[in-house]
């Protein structure tokens, strides 16, 4: 790389949050991904969050068509994609307008001035040009004619149409951000080699665009400072990026392999859970059997059928899908077959906010069915944790012969973080025991004879001679499972099923606690809020306040020691992306007198670290 | 199978008392099923009966095989998952007109189009029995029931026409009182690879007695029923003196006194779907109602397709390897020197 032609200062900083935004056709997701990969390879901790437009093909240049990708990268451990971006790369007026509201006061804006023509300004509902009317005063604005500069850089590629040249301009802007944040180009250069291997002209064009963008930093007076973000102290090992939805898929495959069984996944497409289906459908070499069902009910029914047949069976959906599945979930519950139900929660009720996140289906998972219907519920805390919780869900399902809910959410599903790749050999097997054919003269098979320790019934599968039996949704006699309307038979079965789920507490690991073991304030959270809450608690602890944090991953049954933890604190703050559903469970379990303080947020967006920090400070200061 | 399995009808009867109303057509279907299964040579442990909700759906409890009495309308969904998990099993779906044509209509059309290798037996009694007598999707217009005291205003659905529309590969009809015919149809259904769809005219003695009287009454049935035979002209009548001829696109009943059998329409089980369709449209009183196999064609089953994709994936990518899978993305290594070192 040439040396800068003008004076440039270097500044060491701890972290940056940068958001790339443009039209959905501008390749901003790719740009953001490349920036995160390069930063990850460089050794920073990263966390990323894509922001897709709700419409699939919104008209180009409009606010509805804006696509964004946020990257938080740091020399310290980070747990969220960051509160507010400090840098905004806006490829057109709509991208500027849609994202400016999030930008930190005084933040940097890099704009493509070529796109700020009257037509685009109108499409973005601007009455006047924000670059000229002073509305960006107070921000650090870098105006560059990116389209022109990029075309100039590719001028001598005569075989390439102007349209194709313009499609390279995302690499141009990426190159510029690489210069500003002092990132190496190698990762992206080799990506371009691979991605466009079939078309050498595009390899050349995209590489030139990237380098030209980088050189603009060198050659433009406006860019006086470059920033350096040192590698983070990460655990050593091999890493990859992973989203929650990818991790769920990998976890399910791993669980099935560890059980030595095929994986069945029955699902109906729904945002934001469909990527799980896509990921699994592409891994058939692991004997993954995906079934795209005709509706949510069929997805659940097929999962029950597959579980009866002896497969590791799972379904995935979002809240509205769970609503449709409820009746079949109850069937699974009384057939007492093992399976996993993933709910990648989104804003509700009804169709709600399909592309936005929320944690408002906890009570649905707990209580959203007729009759006494206890189901284990667990919730991953980070994208990478989705992998482990998917395996965990299968372990619990097989152990207790029950459907198990995994509550992910849109934010976990789509956001990505570096994932320390585990050694598959370190993951213990899932031991499945199917009863085999009885010897002659043995007692007749009793499909509901419970294991005295776990209360699970035997998992006898079709194809086993001598164990023919009928299961059904009607009331049953204990042990035999024969249809029974006898009052005490029914009551015993209801109690046994409840007891069986309660007994899973023997399996659930103890609740961990960060901070003092007792004191004034405990923050209790669950699911995807881990990042924001843990970061906020650490900040407050850094200011010498005694605040503790317990993040619950097992919601039903709760860890046994949670009781004694909550009783050791004067006040318990519960931030949730709902109006207080975990609080409802905690109060029901530990009593109304326990001093729980709700902290709800229901905006379709995750908590920011700042919000939680301020809330905690308002209580302890 | 190395040894033929010698099972008897008794082997297929469970220890549960059968609880249908005395005289219900379901008894005959149960008996015929228990009688037919031993001939199929399928080990008992490989047979699964799955039902939904309704009188007919009690069926699995009475079969000494594997079985699930599931929820209303959803039996096809369980069967689909089960067959994909274990394609070796012989799976029967027992359903009724309310179960499969009303609440479960969606699943019925999709299992038929997917051609999953199961056998569906639809007990059609044109009434809701278990809920004590409301009109069903196959009840005739004007049918007076508790929920239609002035007569049903709805048009009935024709199950076999629906089946043709869904690309079903095996479509048949039989009658609860004609046990020999029923046994043969069950055998054919079991032999078919792909979804077999069998409609059984079943009499509900309590709420819709005699709904199929014309088809079961010894005096009238031969004039009202036409037994289909592959490759044979469509002839019926007590004296076998009537036939079906096509007049353009319109079928008509002709007398063999005036028309030579050569002019009659000839049944063809793997002929065009339109033939099966118009056979399904033949309704009393204008036409005799055909029984037997309407359609039997060969198509790849869903399980064959799905399992062959798994083999293909294994052939092209090798058997799944978790280590490879975990690393199948851009990876980077964090080494002790790497962390917090200047670049
Ligand atoms: S109500 Fe009708 S269909 Fe049901 S068992 Fe009685 S006779 Fe049979």
Residues in chain A: 621
Place B341 in a pLDDT band, splitting at 50, 70 and 90.
very low
Interchain proximity A231–B340, CB inside 8 Å? yes
* pLDDT greater than 70 at residue A552: yes
Evaluate: CB of B125 within 6 angstroms of ligand 1.
yes
User: What distance in Å separates residue B53's CA from the closest CA in chain A?
Assistant: 9
Residue nearest to atom 5 of ligand 1 (CA): B20
User: What distance in Å separates residue B317's CA from the closest CA in chain A?
Assistant: 7
* pLDDT greater than 70 at residue A578: yes
Query: With contacts defined as CB-CB under 8 Å, which chain B residues touch A264?
Result: 81, 84-85
Alpha carbon of B58 to ligand 1 centroid (Å): 11
Burial class (CB in 10 A: 0-12, 13-18, 19+), A612: buried
Taking only the tens place, the pLDDT of each residue in B146-172 is: 999 999 999 999 999 999 999 999 999
Q: Which of A43-52, A488-497, B80-89, B152-161 has the lowest mean pLDDT?
A: A43-52
Q: Where are the domains of chain B?
A: 1-211+300-343, 222-288
Report d(CA B340, CA B338) in Å as an integer.
6
Interchain proximity B88–A327, CB inside 8 Å? no
Type and span of the H or E element at A255: helix A244-259
Interchain proximity A470–B67, CB inside 8 Å? yes
B125 CA closest ligand 1 atom index: 3
Is A342 in contact with A406 (CB distance < 8 Å)? yes
Q: What is the DSSP letter of B205?
A: T
* pLDDT greater than 80 at residue A490: yes
Place B249 in a pLDDT band, splitting at 50, 70 and 90.
confident
Same domain for A472 and A392: no
Q: What is the DSSP letter of A116?
A: -
| Radius of gyration, CA atoms only, chain B | 25
Place B337 in a pLDDT band, splitting at 50, 70 and 90.
low
Q: How many domains does chain A have?
A: 4
Taking only the tens place, the pLDDT of each residue in B20-29 is: 999 999 999 9
User: What distance in Å separates residue A78's CA from the closest CA in chain B?
Assistant: 15
Place B329 in a pLDDT band, splitting at 50, 70 and 90.
confident
* pLDDT greater than 70 at residue A3: no
Among A472, A473, A475, the residue to mutate for chain B (most B Cβ within 10 A): A472
Same domain for A299 and A182: no
What integer pLDDT is reported at residue A388 of this predicted model?
98
Same domain for A74 and A25: yes
Interchain proximity B78–A232, CB inside 8 Å? no
Question: Is A239 at the interface with chain B, CB within 8 A?
Answer: yes
Tell me the CATH number at A561: 3.40.50.920
Report d(CA A193, CA A204) in Å as an integer.
9
Taking only the tens place, the pLDDT of each residue in B277-302 is: 999 999 999 999 999 999 999 999 99
Q: Which of B64, B86, B313 is facing A285, going by the closest CB pair? A: B313
Domain boundary among A206, A228, A250: A228
The structure tokens 């300004």 sit at A121
Report d(CA A591, CA A596) in Å as an integer.
10
Taking only the tens place, the pLDDT of each residue in B205-219 is: 999 999 999 999 999
Positive or negative: CA dihedral A355, A360, A362, A365:
negative
Same domain for A115 and A224: yes
Q: Which of B85, B309, B325 is facing A309, going by the closest CB pair? A: B85
Alpha carbon of B188 to ligand 1 centroid (Å): 27
Evaluate: CB of B296 within 6 angstroms of ligand 1.
no
Sheet-wide strand order for B196-201: A470-472, B66-69, B47-51, B90-96, B118-124, B196-201, B170-175, B289-296, B225-227
Average pLDDT in chain A: 95
Q: Which residue(s) pair with A597 in the sheet?
A: A573
Tell me the CATH number at A151: 3.40.920.10
* pLDDT greater than 60 at residue A270: yes
Report d(CA A18, CA A71) in Å as an integer.
5
Question: Is A563 at the interface with chain B, CB within 8 A?
Answer: no
Query: With contacts defined as CB-CB under 8 Å, which chain A residues touch B339?
Result: 43, 231-234, 236
Average pLDDT over residues A92-97: 96
Report d(CA B158, CA B160) in Å as an integer.
6
Query: With contacts defined as CB-CB under 8 Å, which chain B residues touch A329?
Result: none
Which of B17, B18, B19, B21 is the best mutation target for the ligand 1 pocket, counting ligand atoms within 8 Å of the beta carbon and taking the most?
A: B21
What integer pLDDT is reported at residue B339 of this predicted model?
47
Type and span of the H or E element at A30: helix A28-42
A233 belongs to a structural domain? no
Taking only the tens place, the pLDDT of each residue in A193-238 is: 999 999 999 999 999 999 999 999 988 888 889 999 999 888 999 9
What integer pLDDT is reported at residue A601 of this predicted model?
97
Same domain for A255 and A200: no
For residue A211, which of A182, A180, A189 has the smallest C-alpha distance? A189
The structure tokens 């930063």 sit at A39
Average pLDDT over residues A6-12: 87
Interchain proximity B89–A303, CB inside 8 Å? no
Question: How do B118-124 and B90-96 pair as beta strands?
Answer: parallel
Which of B204, B210, B212 is the best mutation target for the ligand 1 pocket, counting ligand atoms within 8 Å of the beta carbon and taking the most?
A: B204
A514 belongs to a structural domain? no
* pLDDT greater than 70 at residue B56: yes
What integer pLDDT is reported at residue A438 of this predicted model?
78
Taking only the tens place, the pLDDT of each residue in B167-206 is: 999 999 999 999 999 999 999 999 999 999 999 999 999 9
For residue B197, which of B278, B110, B281, B69 has the smallest C-alpha distance? B110
Same domain for A400 and A477: no
What integer pLDDT is reported at residue B334 of this predicted model?
86
CA A485 to the chain's CA centroid: 45
B132 CA closest ligand 1 atom index: 1
A235 belongs to a structural domain? no
Same domain for A52 and A201: yes
Place A442 in a pLDDT band, splitting at 50, 70 and 90.
confident
A307 belongs to a structural domain? yes
A2 belongs to a structural domain? no
Is B85 in contact with B302 (CB distance < 8 Å)? no
Q: Which residue(s) pair with B198 in the sheet?
A: B121, B172
Taking only the tens place, the pLDDT of each residue in A298-346 is: 999 999 999 999 999 999 999 999 999 999 999 999 999 999 999 999 9
A234 belongs to a structural domain? no
B204 CA closest ligand 1 atom index: 2
Question: Is A328 at the interface with chain B, CB within 8 A?
Answer: yes
Q: What is the DSSP letter of A280?
A: H
Query: With contacts defined as CB-CB under 8 Å, which chain A residues touch B78?
Result: 301-302, 304-305, 308
* pLDDT greater than 60 at residue A565: yes
CATH number of B1-211+300-343: 3.40.50.970
Interchain proximity A285–B317, CB inside 8 Å? yes
Same domain for A30 and A174: yes
B26 CA closest ligand 1 atom index: 8
The structure tokens 């006699």 sit at A477
Give the ipTM: 0.97
Same domain for A470 and A379: no
Average pLDDT in chain B: 95
What integer pLDDT is reported at residue A5 of this predicted model?
67
A513 belongs to a structural domain? no
Residue of A nearest to B14 (CA): A469
Question: Is A262 at the interface with chain B, CB within 8 A?
Answer: yes
Place A375 in a pLDDT band, splitting at 50, 70 and 90.
very high
Contacts of A465 (CB under 8 A, 6+ apart): A437, B43, B44, B45
CA-CA distances (angstroms) from residue A156 to A1, A153, A160? Answer: 21, 8, 9
User: What distance in Å separates residue B87's CA from the closest CA in chain A?
Assistant: 10
Tokens of B159: 């199950």
* pLDDT greater than 50 at residue A133: yes
For residue B87, which of B279, B327, B304 has the smallest C-alpha distance? B304
Interchain proximity B106–A295, CB inside 8 Å? yes
Find the helix packing angle between A274-281 and A244-259, rounded to 10°: 50
Same domain for A130 and A250: no
Q: Which residue(s) pair with A550 in the sheet?
A: A524
Is A403 in contact with A375 (CB distance < 8 Å)? yes
Query: With contacts defined as CB-CB under 8 Å, which chain A residues touch B341?
Result: 43, 231
Same domain for A396 and A457: no
Range of the domain at A575: 519-620
Burial class (CB in 10 A: 0-12, 13-18, 19+), A203: middle
Among A294, A301, A333, A481, the residue to mutate for chain B (most B Cβ within 10 A): A301
Residue of A nearest to B331 (CA): A240
Size of interface A-B (CB pairs under 8 A): 238
The structure tokens 């290594």 sit at B333
Same domain for A443 and A298: no
What integer pLDDT is reported at residue B1 of this predicted model?
42
Interchain proximity B339–A43, CB inside 8 Å? yes
Is B310 in contact with A284 (CB distance < 8 Å)? yes
What integer pLDDT is reported at residue A50 of this predicted model?
87
> What three-state secondary structure class fits B89?
coil
Is B168 in contact with B269 (CB distance < 8 Å)? no
Is A395 in contact with A454 (CB distance < 8 Å)? no
């Amino acid at each position: 790389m040439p040396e800068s032609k003008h004076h440039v200062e270097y500044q060491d900083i701890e972290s940056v949050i940068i958001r790339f935004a443009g039209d959905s056709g501008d390749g901003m997701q790719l740009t953001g991904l490349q920036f995160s990969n390069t930063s990850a390879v460089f050794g920073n901790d990263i966390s990323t969050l894509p922001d897709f437009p709700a419409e699939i093909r919104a008209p180009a240049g409009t606010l509805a068509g804006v696509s964004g990708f946020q990257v938080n990268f740091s020399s310290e451990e980070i747990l969220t994609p960051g509160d507010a971006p400090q840098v905004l790369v806006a490829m057109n007026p709509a991208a500027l307008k849609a994202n400016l509201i999030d930008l930190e006061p005084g933040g940097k804006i890099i704009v493509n001035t070529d796109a700020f023509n009257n037509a685009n300004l109108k499409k973005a509902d601007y009455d006047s040009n924000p670059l000229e009317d002073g509305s960006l005063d107070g921000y650090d604005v870098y105006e560059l004619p990116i389209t022109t500069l990029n075309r100039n850089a590719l001028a001598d590629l005569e075989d390439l149409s102007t349209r194709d040249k313009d499609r390279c301009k995302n690499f141009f802007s990426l190159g510029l951000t690489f210069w500003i944040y002092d990132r190496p180009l190698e990762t992206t250069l080799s990506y371009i080699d691979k991605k466009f291997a079939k078309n050498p002209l595009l390899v050349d064009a995209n590489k030139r665009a990237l380098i030209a963008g980088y050189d603009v930093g060198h050659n433009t007076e406006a860019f006086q400072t470059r920033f350096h973000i040192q590698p983070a102290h990460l655990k050593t090992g091999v890493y990859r990026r992973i989203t929650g939805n990818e991790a769920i898929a990998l976890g399910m495959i791993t669980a099935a392999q560890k059980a030595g069984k095929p994986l069945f996944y029955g699902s109906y497409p729904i945002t934001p859970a469909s990527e799980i289906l896509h990921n699994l459908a592409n891994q058939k070499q692991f004997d993954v059997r995906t079934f795209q069902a005709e509706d949510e009910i069929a997805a659940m029914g097929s999962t029950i059928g597959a579980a009866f047949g002896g497969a590791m069976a799972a379904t995935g959906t979002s809240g509205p899908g769970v609503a449709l599945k409820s009746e079949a979930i109850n069937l699974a519950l009384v057939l007492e077959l093992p399976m996993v139900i993933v709910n990648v929660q989104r804003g509700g009720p009804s169709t709600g906010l399909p592309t936005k996140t929320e944690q408002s289906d906890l009570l649905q998972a707990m209580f959203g069915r007729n009759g006494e219907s206890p189901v284990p519920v667990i919730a991953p805390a980070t994208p990478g944790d989705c992998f482990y919780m998917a395996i965990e869900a299968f372990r619990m399902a097989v152990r207790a012969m029950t459907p198990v809910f995994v509550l992910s959410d849109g934010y976990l599903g789509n956001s990505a973080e570096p994932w320390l790749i585990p050694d598959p050999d370190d993951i213990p097997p899932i031991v499945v025991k199917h009863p085999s054919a009885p010897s002659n003269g043995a007692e007749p098979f009793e499909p509901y004879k419970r294991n005295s320790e776990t209360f699970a019934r035997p998992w006898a599968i079709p194809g086993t001679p001598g164990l023919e039996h009928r299961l059904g949704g009607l009331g049953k006699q204990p042990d035999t499972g024969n249809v029974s309307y006898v009052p005490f038979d029914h009551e015993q079965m209801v109690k046994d099923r409840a007891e069986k789920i309660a007994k899973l507490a023997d399996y659930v690991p103890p609740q961990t606690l960060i901070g003092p073991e007792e004191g004034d304030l405990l923050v209790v959270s669950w699911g995807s809020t881990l990042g924001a809450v843990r970061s906020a608690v650490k900040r407050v602890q850094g200011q010498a306040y005694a605040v503790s944090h317990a993040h619950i991953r097992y919601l039903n049954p709760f860890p046994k020691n949670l009781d004694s933890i909550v009783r050791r604190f004067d006040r318990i703050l519960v931030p949730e992306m709902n109006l207080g559903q975990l609080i409802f469970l905690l109060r029901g379990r530990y009593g109304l007198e326990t001093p729980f303080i709700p902290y709800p947020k229901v905006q379709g967006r995750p908590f920011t670290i700042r919000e939680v920090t301020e809330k905690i400070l308002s209580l302890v200061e | 199978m190395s040894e033929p399995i010698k099972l008897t009808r008794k082997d297929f009867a469970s220890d549960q008392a059968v609880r249908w109303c005395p005289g219900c057509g379901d008894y005959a279907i149960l008996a015929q099923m228990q009688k037919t299964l031993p001939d199929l040579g399928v080990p008992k442990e490989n047979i699964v009966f799955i039902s939904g909700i309704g009188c007919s759906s009690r069926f699995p409890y009475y079969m000494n095989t594997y079985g699930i009495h599931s929820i209303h309308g959803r039996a096809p969904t369980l069967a689909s998952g089960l067959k994909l998990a274990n394609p070796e099993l012989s799976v029967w779906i027992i359903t009724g007109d309310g179960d499969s044509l009303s609440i479960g209509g969606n699943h019925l059309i999709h299992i038929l189009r997917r051609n999953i290798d199961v056998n569906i037996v639809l007990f059609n009694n044109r009434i809701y029995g278990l809920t004590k007598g409301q009109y069903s999707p196959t009840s005739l217009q004007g049918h007076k029931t508790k929920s239609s005291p002035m007569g049903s205003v709805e048009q009935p659905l024709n199950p076999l026409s629906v089946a043709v529309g869904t690309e079903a590969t095996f479509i048949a009809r039989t009658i609860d009182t004609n046990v020999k015919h029923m046994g043969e149809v069950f055998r054919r259904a079991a032999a078919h690879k792909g979804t077999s769809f069998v409609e059984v005219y079943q009499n509900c003695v309590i709420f819709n007695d005699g709904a199929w009287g014309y088809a079961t009454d010894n005096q009238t049935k031969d004039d009202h029923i036409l037994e289909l035979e592959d490759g044979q002209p469509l002839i019926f009548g007590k004296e076998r003196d009537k036939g079906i001829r096509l007049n353009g696109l319109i079928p008509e009943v002709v007398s063999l006194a005036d028309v030579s059998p050569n002019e009659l329409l000839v049944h063809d089980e793997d002929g065009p779907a339109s033939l099966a369709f118009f056979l399904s449209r033949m309704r009393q009183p204008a036409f005799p109602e055909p029984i037997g196999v309407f359609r039997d064609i060969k198509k790849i089953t869903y399980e064959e397709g799905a399992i062959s994709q798994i083999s293909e994936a294994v052939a092209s990518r090798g058997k799944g390897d978790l280590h490879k899978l975990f690393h199948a993305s851009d990876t980077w290594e964090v080494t002790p020197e790497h962390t917090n070192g200047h670049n």
